[in-house]
């Protein structure tokens, strides 16, 4: 295998006793066909020498953002673009905190901010450091941004305590890293359009009809689709969320604006994922001035809002169409009805209300397609999104293969 054919993995090594396992991880990755570039922090050099990594990787170890020779041609940017996967193992509590807060004070943290490659971290720390609320908040932030958290494992620790915090063993880390790389190419070359968040239907200049959608599930799905190699357009209603890295975002407010934005993308759309909570009804028109309180009751006329999902499914340029169903009862029954009525390829259904789904960082989905069902158990929305994207990619390929066979018989 030539060097140009080998998978390019940037391995970050931070300070911690588990760093002694990282040279073995380099070897395990290389056995699977990876070209590994090691980048160390100052703390990591206290446990393992750069020369050790150079010996097992066959590449000079990088550890200095201020290396005049390497940075003459902006070497840290070159490395960030070179990597097909960034894996940090071990990832200390300090590094997770710096990564979550966007700090770029050394070469490794700078690379992590400058890359658009999939990123994974393998935490390693004392059990109490791992369970600390600050660490868990940092991990939640990283998950929400699409960073994969590998581990940690439980067991005996170097400090003599027992519990969660051990870095996963090199053999398992190498396997999971390559699993990530396979998934990162599942949607390569495809244009995925995702709607997210609520819509706001104006009543007058200060009031509107909306719902409790936070947009988190749609944004997590956009991040997962981008990590799977897709070109992603995210059409979002009003939410307070950062745009996922590498994703093109279109902001809208009303159902009509979202409808128009989706249909502008339709000519180049391969997959449409309708995760937005679009209003079913809206006022016929917004009043030009604020409505004054004049009595004990007020009647508000409503008309149907445009059905974006049904319109895309019925279009002659029809992409692979995935709907969402947020239900408060009889989840599977209502989702199957929607799947059939709107002629969808797939639907992801979940139970909402009473602290479930809306305004939460976790979720659970029942995914249905004709003749099949798959349950994605409760987990962080970023993890749920990755599993959903895997299913979408699988079903998209099945549909495309079927269409290809049909064309061959015409």
Report in angstroms the alpha-carbon separations of 16 from 54, 74, 125: 19, 29, 7
Task: Please say whether the beta carbons of 146 and 386 come within 8 A.
Answer: no
d(CA 77, CA 85): 15
Catalytic residue IDs: 159
Q: Check whether the bond before 219 is cis (ω within 30° of 0).
A: no
Helix axes 22-31, 50-57, angle to 10 degrees: 10
Residue with tokens 């700078």: 110
Sign of dihedral through CA atoms 230, 235, 237, 241?
Answer: positive
Report in angstroms the alpha-carbon separations of 344 from 206, 240, 285, 339: 36, 29, 31, 5
Report in angstroms the alpha-carbon separations of 176 from 118, 212, 357, 372, 387: 13, 36, 28, 27, 14
Query: Counting beta carbons within 10 angstroms of the beta carbon of residue 173, is it exposed (0 to 12), middle (13 to 18) or buried (19 or more)?
Result: buried
Q: Which residues are paired to 281 by β-bridges?
A: 304
Bridging pattern class, strands 362-369 and 119-123: unpaired
Integer Rg of the chain from CA: 24
Task: Please say whether the beta carbons of 23 and 56 come within 8 A.
Answer: yes
The contacts of residue 71 (CB under 8 Å, 6+ apart) are: 65
């Amino acid at each position: 295998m030539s060097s140009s054919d080998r998978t390019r993995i940037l391995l970050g090594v931070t300070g911690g006793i588990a760093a002694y396992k990282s040279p073995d991880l380099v070897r395990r990755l290389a056995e699977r066909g990876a070209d590994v570039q090691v980048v160390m922090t100052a703390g990591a050099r206290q446990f393992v020498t750069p020369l050790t990594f150079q010996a097992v990787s066959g590449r000079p170890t990088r550890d200095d953002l201020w290396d005049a020779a390497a940075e003459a041609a902006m070497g840290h940017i070159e490395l960030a673009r070179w990597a097909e996967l960034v894996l940090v193992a071990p990832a200390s509590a300090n590094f997770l905190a710096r990564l979550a807060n966007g700090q770029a004070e050394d070469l490794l943290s700078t690379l992590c901010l400058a890359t658009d490659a999939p990123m994974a971290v393998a935490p390693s720390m004392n059990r109490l450091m791992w369970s600390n609320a600050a660490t868990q908040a940092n991990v939640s932030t990283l998950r929400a941004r699409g960073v994969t958290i590998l581990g940690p494992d439980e067991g005996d620790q170097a400090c003599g305590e027992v519990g969660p915090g051990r870095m996963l063993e090199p053999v398992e880390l190498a396997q999971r890293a390559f699993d990530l790389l396979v998934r990162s190419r599942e949607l390569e070359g495809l244009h995925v359009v995702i709607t997210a968040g609520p819509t706001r239907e104006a009543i007058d200049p200060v009031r509107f009809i909306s719902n409790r959608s936070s947009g988190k599930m749609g944004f997590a799905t956009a991040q997962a689709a981008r990590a799977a190699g897709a070109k992603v357009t995210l059409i979002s209603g009003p939410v307070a969320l950062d745009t996922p890295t590498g994703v093109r975002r279109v902001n809208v407010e009303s159902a009509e604006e979202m409808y128009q934005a989706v249909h502008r993308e339709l000519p180049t759309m391969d997959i449409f994922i309708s995760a937005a909570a679009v209003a079913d009804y809206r006022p016929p028109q917004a009043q030009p001035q604020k409505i004054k309180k004049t009595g004990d009751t007020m009647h508000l006329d409503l008309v149907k809002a445009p059905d974006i999902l049904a319109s895309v499914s019925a279009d002659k340029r029809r992409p692979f169409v995935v709907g969402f169903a947020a239900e408060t009862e009889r989840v599977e029954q209502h989702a199957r009805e929607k799947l059939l009525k709107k002629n969808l390829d797939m639907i992801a259904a979940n139970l909402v209300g009473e602290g479930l789904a809306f305004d939460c960082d976790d979720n659970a989905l029942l995914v249905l397609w004709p003749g099949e069902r798959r349950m994605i158990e409760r987990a962080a929305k970023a993890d749920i999104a990755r599993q959903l994207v895997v299913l979408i990619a699988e079903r998209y390929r099945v549909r495309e293969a079927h269409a290809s066979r049909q064309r061959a018989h015409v």
